[in-house]
Amino acid sequence: MNIELVSLQLPASLYEKLQTIAITENTDIVGAIASQRGLL
């Protein structure tokens, strides 16, 4: 886990959801956040 991600202070439930999305889409947490916001 990188330091930038830790500094975001994500709630555990949100982090777990993003982690699941990241695994499903074969990307990382940042990619999952971007895809959920429609940026990719």
Q: pLDDT (tens digit, 9 = 90+) per residue, 5-39?
A: 555 666 888 888 878 887 887 777 777 777 777 76
State the DSSP code for 8: T
Between CA 4 and CA 22 the distance in angstroms is: 17
Q: Which residue shows structure tokens 């990382």?
A: 28
Q: Where are the domains of the chain?
A: 10-36
Between CA 20 and CA 22 the distance in angstroms is: 5
Query: pTM value?
Result: 0.43
6-15 pLDDT, tens per residue? 556 668 888 8
Are the C-beta atoms of 40 and 34 separated by less than 8 Å?
A: yes
